[in-house]
Amino acid sequence: MYEIRIKKQFQKDLKRTAKRGKNIDKLETIIDALQKGNDLERKHDSHPLKGIWKPCWECHIEPDWLLIWDYSDDDRELILVRTGSHSDLFD
Catalytic pick among 44, 47, 60, 86: 86
Nearest to 15 by CA among 82, 71, 86, 91: 82
- For 61, half-sphere exposure in the C-beta direction (CA atoms, 13 angstrom radius) is 25
15 — phi, psi (to 5°)?
Answer: -60, -45
Catalytic (active site) residue 44: no
Helix (H, G, I), strand (E, B) or coil at 87: helix
Active site residues: 86
